[in-house]
């Protein structure tokens, strides 16, 4: 899998295509001040444990960094990812 994470603002999620139309997604809402509140991450069960969620998180944090936005982590998966990858702490607030 060598896919790129993209943002789907209409669905309020970041997406990572996996295979055969399947995708992993990180859902969010945007606060009035522009912060991106990450509320839920989904990876199809057939792809669980294969690093798909981590690839999604990495691509999402890179997109947020590139666009100058900050994230608020309400999703337990994203909190655990940040603990293991403190290099993205600059993208997180609140």
Task: Supply the CATH number for residue 20's domain.
Answer: 3.40.630.30
**pLDDT at residue 4 greater than cutoff 90:** yes
Residue 1 lies in a domain: no
User: Which residues are CB-neighbours of 9 under 8 A, at least 6 positions away?
Assistant: none
Identify the pLDDT of residue 2: 55
**pLDDT at residue 3 greater than cutoff 80:** no
pTM: 0.93
Residue 17 lies in a domain: yes
Identify the pLDDT of residue 20: 82
Residue 39 lies in a domain: yes
| pLDDT band of 94, cuts 50, 70, 90 | confident
What is the SS3 assignment for 41? strand
Residue 48 lies in a domain: yes
State the total domains in the chain: 1
Q: What is the pLDDT of residues 58-77, one digit of tens each?
A: 999 999 999 999 999 999 99
Map tokens 């100058």 to a residue: 68
Q: What is the pLDDT of residues 6-63, one digit of tens each?
A: 999 999 999 999 988 899 999 999 999 999 999 999 999 999 999 999 999 999 999 9
Residue 20 lies in a domain: yes
By residue range, what is the domain housing residue 81?
Answer: 6-91
């Amino acid at each position: 899998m060598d896919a790129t994470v993209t943002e789907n603002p209409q669905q309020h999620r970041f997406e990572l295509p996996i295979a055969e139309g399947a995708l992993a997604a990180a859902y969010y809402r945007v606060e009035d001040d522009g912060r991106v509140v990450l509320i839920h991450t989904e990876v199809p069960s057939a792809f669980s444990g294969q690093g798909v969620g981590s690839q999604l998180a990495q691509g999402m944090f890179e997109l947020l960094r590139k666009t100058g936005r900050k994230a608020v982590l309400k999703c337990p998966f994203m909190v655990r990812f940040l603990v293991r990858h403190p290099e993205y702490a600059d993208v997180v607030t609140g």
